[in-house]
Amino acid sequence: MNARGSYVDLYFDKYVPELTGPELKELLYPVFDFDSRTALEAYLLTVPPKVRDAIMAHQVLVGMNQEMVIYSKGRPPRRVREKDGGTDYEEWIYGAPPQDVDFVRFVGDEVVRVETMSVDGKKVVRVEKEVDVSEPTVAKKGTRPAPTLRRPGEEMPDANPSQPSSLPPAGAPPPGGPPGTDPGPNWNPGQFSTAG
């Protein structure tokens, strides 16, 4: 086994042309994605602008879901489950005195109330829906195709759905069985063991 890592060769016909950094990156794009995003950057592309701004400011809006709150404030240090009348809810508590303390109340997966107790004793409660996230924003895809190791014009075997691939599924015995044998209808792949 070679424990030295991997390498990529670029082959040019007759001579190596002078290349700028961006031109070299473009040639290597099928193998390396130089524009990859962090998990947070990728997630922010999928949410409405108002939610994106709140997450970046580490704020919680009434109407957010649990995933959005985690991206905004992190996992809660404390959680409390209670019942208000016939409604079960969960409250996530961020902070502790002498700092501001935020109480984020969820019914199901949706924030229905945000209560902030500030250091000076002021209490702010928000219950009006500030954002509707029932239809998530879909990230806009770039004009560039996804990275691939295929050569230009080369298609995958299943590229044409009207003509299914003639290749057997992975792990299936080759057509006609192992070379030099005629397995017949009762062929058992286990009979060709490599253990010895």
| CATH code of the domain containing 96 | 3.30.1450
Asked, for residue 106, whether it belongs to a domain, the answer is: yes
Asked, for residue 179, whether it belongs to a domain, the answer is: no
Asked, for residue 114, whether it belongs to a domain, the answer is: yes
Asked, for residue 91, whether it belongs to a domain, the answer is: yes
Asked, for residue 195, whether it belongs to a domain, the answer is: no
Task: Look at strands 110-117 and 101-107 and give their pairing.
Answer: antiparallel
Task: Count up the domains in the chain and report the number.
Answer: 1
What is the reported pTM?
0.55
pLDDT on residue 76: 95
Q: Which residues form the domain of 89? A: 48-126
Find the range with the poorest average confidence among 4-13, 24-33, 81-90, 187-196.
Answer: 187-196
Asked, for residue 24, whether it belongs to a domain, the answer is: no
State the alpha helices, DSSP H only, in the chain.
21-28, 39-44, 49-56, 66-73
In sequence order, the β-bridge partners of residue 82 are 89
Phi, psi (deg, nearest 5) at residue 44 = -60, -25
